[in-house]
């Protein structure tokens, strides 16, 4: 999920020669700092070890965890692509993330430095975290949650969110975390699909200086679903909330009165750990299922290897939201399994001022920072002088995740945040992969701005052409994974056929990630963006179909086509073309604002189009298919591709003429 920014590929699209040439001209290399290389957790030998015995390599990484019953079989691939890793092993994920560190004598180590947006802070040690997770687990049991049940979590970025997830893991209930920025409709879909028994939420969280309510969305949803028995509510902001006696329960009342004693149960390595929903091209979100042993093995190993984590001395900070997979793997499970001390921040990087991130780095002496290119490009826009006001000398590893990072942003990150010495690990992975797959190693790799470079030890990834042949160095095609990996998704919740069709049907025997990619002359991998109709906005996958459906649900819209266009801040921006119903006025700017807000209310603010252009017609083929490729060309101000298949090619002339004047929400 971190790549060079180039044109997003559509099916059948070809990346411009100019884009490829620009990639090939990147000749800057940055060797690892000598002191880091000399003491690195993982050396170049790991690649050779994994190449010689891939399954033996992963069996060794599994031994970094504590098992109640040691696995004797590493991988069962007898029914591909349905993998079973460490299938006869048993463990408890929460025990691995909390209890074992206390038992090892590290109970006084800070697990989480929480920084609230209003400036409140608290430090939670591993011993305190163990007590909180145990009490929350007992509370869930009191509410009737059992192993195998599903629990929805709709929370702000506060420690109770991690506690709730770990409490679910402790008792064997799968959690389904829903990003707090999603609307009630999106929440309802996810609660219903997972058949969640309990919802854990909050009165709200703080965002941009004011409370942002969450409980009202849950209240709205409960009327649409019939499976939720209880709503567990954390008091964060003190906002007034509606409260239904018998159904709604205050966290501070039920959790605080529980015993801090809870003996974790060991579950099979393939026991479901969580479901996390990601956008699908058909519009309905896909419930990605991850299980316990393989997922935790790879999340913990990659966190240890890619960040060179030294838990005794490092202070780690991943700025993602727990509602996304980065927050699952690299805030909750990977870092805590490794006994890390980490920062958790509730708010936005510009509240109360644009130096808030750097103030936090300085305050806690952060040594490892993992953030998104969208944030980096925003910091660039705000100016070099802002980070220069703060002491960032503690930083020793910088990470990038979530979307393409262009070389200019990479260089700025290194120079202005990393003092031109700190290595950058540019990581590619997905909700579906569960953990990092392609990334430099900070003590091994001579890094290259804009490229995620090479598969990590134990990972088999390459680039293939349409016929599934591996492309030579300098060639482009599709990114595929050719061997199973421990943290791979096991299926799409409740829909094995969709799992097969979505990921395994394009190239026989290979997982197709949905991304276009290229190998440069050194064989390093450059990601070229999504090849399907999923847009990547600020690191969030958003389905074109969902946005189109939201637009068409407005009474003024008859038809809509949505594309992702390159954007220097968010990676991609949503651009919508709409055909209005007869009575609507295409010249009414207020209508455009109304449509934008309608999408935000339906899907969440992240899905609001940056530009909306009312048009008389959409470019369609004779079979009625909308040619989004041509709309992308217009949105990115490129020369139009082939228009010969259009029913009426003059449609594009009109759209090209009108788009520059269309209002944009910056």
Using the 8-state DSSP alphabet, how is residue 606 labeled?
G
Evaluated on CA atoms 522, 525, 528, 531, the torsion sign reads positive
**Whether pLDDT at 6 is above 50:** no
Phi, psi of 324 (to 5 degrees): -110, 165
Note whether residue 95 is domain-resident: no
Residues 575, 610 contacting (CB under 8 angstroms): yes
Residue 404 assigned ligand-binding role: yes
- The upper half-sphere exposure of residue 448, i.e. CA atoms within 13 Å in the direction of its Cβ, equals 21
Domain finish residue from 532, 550, 566: 532
Pairing of strands 557-567, 571-580: antiparallel
pLDDT digits (tens, 9 = 90+) for 501-516: 999 999 999 999 888 8
Q: Could you give the CA distance from residue 7 to residue 451 in angstroms, rounded to a whole number?
A: 15
Q: Could you give the CA distance from residue 575 to residue 237 in angstroms, rounded to a whole number?
A: 35
Residue 396 assigned ligand-binding role: no
Please count the other Cβ atoms lying within 10 Å of the Cβ belonging to residue 378. Answer: 18
Tell me: do 295 and 440 sit in the same domain: yes
Q: Could you give the CA distance from residue 348 to residue 203 in angstroms, rounded to a whole number?
A: 19
Tokens of 606: 């992240």
Q: Is residue 263 helix, strand or coil? A: coil
Tell me: do 321 and 340 sit in the same domain: yes
Residues 419, 393 contacting (CB under 8 angstroms): yes
Q: Could you give the CA distance from residue 129 to residue 102 in angstroms, rounded to a whole number?
A: 10
Tell me: do 568 and 499 sit in the same domain: no
Residue 109 assigned ligand-binding role: no
Judged by average pLDDT, the poorest of 152-161, 345-354, 405-414 is: 405-414
* Helical packing angle, 54-62 and 293-306, nearest 10°: 90
Residues 591, 556 contacting (CB under 8 angstroms): yes
Note whether residue 110 is domain-resident: no
**Whether pLDDT at 302 is above 70:** yes
pLDDT digits (tens, 9 = 90+) for 346-385: 999 999 999 999 999 999 999 999 999 878 888 988 889 9
Residue 208 assigned ligand-binding role: yes
Which residue reads 């300085």 in tokens? 362
490: Cβ contacts below 8 Å, ≥ 6 apart = 82, 83, 270, 289, 290, 291
pLDDT digits (tens, 9 = 90+) for 244-275: 999 999 999 999 999 999 999 999 999 999 99
Which residue reads 């179909």 in tokens? 545
Of 327, 331, 329, 379, nearest to 356 by C-alpha is 379
Please tell me the predicted confidence (pLDDT) of residue 442. 98
CA-angle at 544, arms to 538 and 547, nearest 5°: 90
Tell me: do 538 and 562 sit in the same domain: yes
Please tell me the predicted confidence (pLDDT) of residue 547. 86
Residues 654, 577 contacting (CB under 8 angstroms): no
Tokens of 474: 């300098």
Residue 415 assigned ligand-binding role: no
Residue 118 assigned ligand-binding role: no
Tell me: do 166 and 273 sit in the same domain: no
Residue 63 assigned ligand-binding role: no
Band (pLDDT 50/70/90 cuts) for residue 11 is: very low
Query: What's 543's domain CATH number?
Result: 3.30.300.30
Please tell me the predicted confidence (pLDDT) of residue 18. 34
Residue 402 assigned ligand-binding role: yes
Please tell me the predicted confidence (pLDDT) of residue 524. 93
Tokens of 299: 């999340």
Note whether residue 616 is domain-resident: yes
What share of the chain in percent tops pLDDT 70?
A: 92
Residues 488, 461 contacting (CB under 8 angstroms): no
Tokens of 215: 């409980």
Residue 429 assigned ligand-binding role: yes
Residue 209 assigned ligand-binding role: yes
* Helical packing angle, 589-603 and 184-194, nearest 10°: 30
DSSP 453-490: BSBPTT--EEEE-TTSPBPPTT-EEEEEE-S--TT---
Tell me: do 407 and 430 sit in the same domain: yes
Q: Is residue 413 helix, strand or coil? A: helix
Of 346, 370, 176, nearest to 275 by C-alpha is 176
Please tell me the predicted confidence (pLDDT) of residue 25. 57
Task: Tell me the residue range of the domain where 214 lies.
Answer: 126-265
Tell me: do 261 and 306 sit in the same domain: no
Tokens of 179: 């990003």
The residue with greater pLDDT, 282 or 454, is: 454
Which residue reads 């590893």 in tokens? 397
Q: Could you give the CA distance from residue 637 to residue 644 in angstroms, rounded to a whole number?
A: 20
Of 529, 534, 524, 480, nearest to 505 by C-alpha is 480
The helix (H) or strand (E) run that includes residue 134 is helix 126-142
Q: Could you give the CA distance from residue 50 to residue 455 in angstroms, rounded to a whole number?
A: 11
Most confidently predicted of 16-20, 164-168, 183-187, 584-588: 164-168
Q: Could you give the CA distance from residue 286 to residue 497 in angstroms, rounded to a whole number?
A: 12
Q: Could you give the CA distance from residue 265 to residue 181 in angstroms, rounded to a whole number?
A: 33
Tell me: do 440 and 567 sit in the same domain: no
Mean pLDDT across the chain, nearest whole number? Answer: 90
Domain finish residue from 516, 532, 548: 532
pLDDT digits (tens, 9 = 90+) for 445-495: 999 998 899 999 999 999 999 899 999 998 888 999 999 999 999 999 999
The pTM (predicted TM-score) of the whole model is: 0.84
Q: Could you give the CA distance from residue 307 to residue 531 in angstroms, rounded to a whole number?
A: 30
Using the 8-state DSSP alphabet, how is residue 609 labeled?
-
Residue 100 assigned ligand-binding role: no
Residue 530 assigned ligand-binding role: yes
Residue 526 assigned ligand-binding role: no
Note whether residue 510 is domain-resident: yes
Domain count for the chain: 3
Query: What's 334's domain CATH number?
Result: 3.40.50.12780
**CA dist 307 → 315, 330, 485, 666 (Å):** 11, 10, 20, 34
Residue 410 assigned ligand-binding role: no
**Whether pLDDT at 623 is above 60:** no
Domain finish residue from 532, 548, 575: 532
Tell me: do 448 and 390 sit in the same domain: yes
Please tell me the predicted confidence (pLDDT) of residue 1. 33
pLDDT digits (tens, 9 = 90+) for 538-580: 888 687 777 887 898 898 988 888 999 988 888 899 999 998 8
What is the largest distance, in Å, between two alpha-carbon atoms of the chain?
73
Query: What's 170's domain CATH number?
Result: 3.40.50.980
Residues 585, 591 contacting (CB under 8 angstroms): yes
Band (pLDDT 50/70/90 cuts) for residue 13 is: very low
Is residue 398 classed exposed, middle or buried when 0-12, 13-18 and 19+ CB atoms within 10 A define those classes? buried
Tell me: do 338 and 403 sit in the same domain: yes
Note whether residue 75 is domain-resident: no
Note whether residue 76 is domain-resident: no
The residue with greater pLDDT, 223 or 543, is: 223
Cα-trace Rg, the chain: 24
Residue 207 assigned ligand-binding role: yes
Note whether residue 519 is domain-resident: yes
Residue 515 assigned ligand-binding role: yes
DSSP 195-247: T-SEEEEESEEEETTEEEE-HHHHHHHHTT-S---EEEEE-SS-------TTT
Residues 655, 613 contacting (CB under 8 angstroms): yes
Judged by average pLDDT, the poorest of 167-171, 344-348, 531-535 is: 531-535
Q: Could you give the CA distance from residue 621 to residue 615 in angstroms, rounded to a whole number?
A: 17
Residue 77 assigned ligand-binding role: no
Tell me: do 562 and 606 sit in the same domain: yes
Residues 74, 84 contacting (CB under 8 angstroms): no
Please tell me the predicted confidence (pLDDT) of residue 663. 61
Note whether residue 245 is domain-resident: yes
What share of the chain in percent tops pLDDT 90?
A: 71
DSSP 169-185: HHHTPEEEE--TTS-HH
The helix (H) or strand (E) run that includes residue 360 is helix 356-364
Describe the strand order of the beta sheet including 461-464 as a list of residue ranges.
461-464, 476-481, 511-519, 525-530
* Helical packing angle, 589-603 and 544-552, nearest 10°: 120
Q: Could you give the CA distance from residue 242 to residue 567 in angstroms, rounded to a whole number?
A: 40
Please count the other Cβ atoms lying within 10 Å of the Cβ belonging to residue 647. Answer: 13
Tell me: do 303 and 435 sit in the same domain: yes
Which residue reads 């804009």 in tokens? 450
């Amino acid at each position: 999920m971190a790549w060079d920014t180039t044109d997003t590929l559509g099916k059948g699209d070809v990346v411009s020669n100019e884009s490829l040439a620009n990639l090939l001209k990147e000749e800057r290399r940055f060797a690892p700092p000598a002191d880091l290389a000399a003491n690195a957790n993982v050396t170049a030998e790991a690649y050779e070890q994994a190449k010689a015995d891939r399954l033996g390599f992963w069996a060794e990484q599994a031994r970094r965890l504590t098992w109640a019953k040691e696995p004797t079989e590493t991988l069962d691939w007898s029914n591909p692509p349905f993998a079973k890793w460490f299938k006869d092993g048993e463990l408890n994920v929460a025990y691995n993330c909390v209890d074992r560190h206390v038992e090892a004598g590290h109970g006084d180590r800070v697990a989480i430095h929480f920084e609230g947006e209003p400036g409140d802070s608290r430090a939670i040690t591993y011993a305190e975290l163990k007590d909180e997770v145990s009490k929350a687990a007992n509370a869930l049991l009191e509410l009737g949650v059992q192993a195998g049940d599903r629990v929805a979590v709709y929370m702000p970025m506060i420690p109770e969110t991690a506690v709730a997830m770990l409490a679910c893991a402790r008792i064997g209930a799968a959690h389904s975390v829903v990003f707090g920025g999603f609307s009630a409709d999106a929440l309802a879909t996810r609660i219903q699909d997972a058949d969640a028994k309990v919802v854990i939420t909050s009165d709200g969280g703080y965002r941009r200086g004011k409370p942002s309510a969450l409980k009202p969305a849950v209240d709205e949803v409960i009327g649409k679903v019939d499976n939720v028995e209880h709503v567990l509510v954390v008091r964060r902001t003190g906002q007034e909330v509606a409260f239904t006696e018998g159904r709604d329960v205050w966290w501070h009342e039920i959790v605080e009165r529980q015993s801090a004693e809870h003996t974790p149960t060991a579950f099979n390595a393939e026991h479901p750990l969580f479901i996390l929903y990601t956008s699908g091209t058909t519009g309905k979100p896909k419930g990605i299922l991850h299980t316990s042993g393989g997922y935790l093995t790879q999340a913990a190993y990659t966190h240890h290897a890619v960040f060179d984590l030294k838990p005794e001395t490092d202070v780690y900070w991943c700025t993602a939201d727990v509602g996304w997979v980065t927050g699952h793997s690299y805030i909750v499970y990977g870092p805590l399994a490794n006994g890390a001390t980490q920062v958790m921040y509730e708010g936005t990087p510009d509240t109360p001022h644009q130096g808030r991130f750097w103030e936090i780095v300085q305050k806690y002496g952060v040594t490892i920072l993992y953030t998104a290119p969208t944030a980096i490009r925003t910091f660039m826009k705000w100016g070099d002088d802002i980070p220069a006001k703060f002491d960032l000398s503690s930083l020793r590893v910088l990470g990038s995740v979530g979307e393409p990072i262009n070389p200019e942003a990479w260089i700025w990150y290194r120079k202005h945040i990393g003092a031109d010495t700190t290595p950058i690990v540019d990581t590619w992975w997905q909700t579906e992969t569960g953990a990092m797959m392609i990334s430099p190693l900070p003590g091994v790799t001579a890094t290259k701005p804009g490229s995620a470079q090479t598969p990590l030890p134990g990972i088999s990834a390459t680039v293939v052409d349409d016929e599934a042949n591996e492309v030579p160095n300098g060639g482009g095609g599709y990114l595929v994974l050719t061997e199973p990996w421990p943290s791979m998704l096991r299926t799409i919740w409740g829909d094995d056929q969709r799992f097969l069709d979505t990921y395994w049907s394009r190239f026989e025997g290979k997982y197709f990630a949905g991304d276009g990619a290229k190998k440069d002359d050194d064989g390093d991998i450059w990601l070229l963006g999504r090849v399907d109709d999923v847009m990547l906005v600020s690191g969030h996958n958003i389905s074109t179909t969902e946005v189109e459906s939201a637009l068409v649900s407005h009474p003024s819209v008859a038809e809509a086509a949505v594309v992702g266009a390159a954007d220097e801040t968010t990676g991609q921006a949503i651009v919508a073309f709409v055909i209005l119903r007869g009575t609507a006025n295409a010249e009414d700017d207020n209508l455009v604002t109304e449509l934008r807000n309608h999408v935000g209310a339906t899907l969440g603010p992240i899905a609001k189009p940056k530009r909306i252009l009312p048009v008389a017609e959409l470019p369609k083929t004779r079979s009625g298919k909308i040619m989004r490729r041509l709309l992308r060309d217009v949105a990115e101000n490129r020369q139009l591709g082939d228009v010969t298949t259009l029913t009426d090619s003059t449609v594009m002339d009109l759209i090209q003429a009108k788009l520059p004047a269309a209002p944009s929400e910056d």
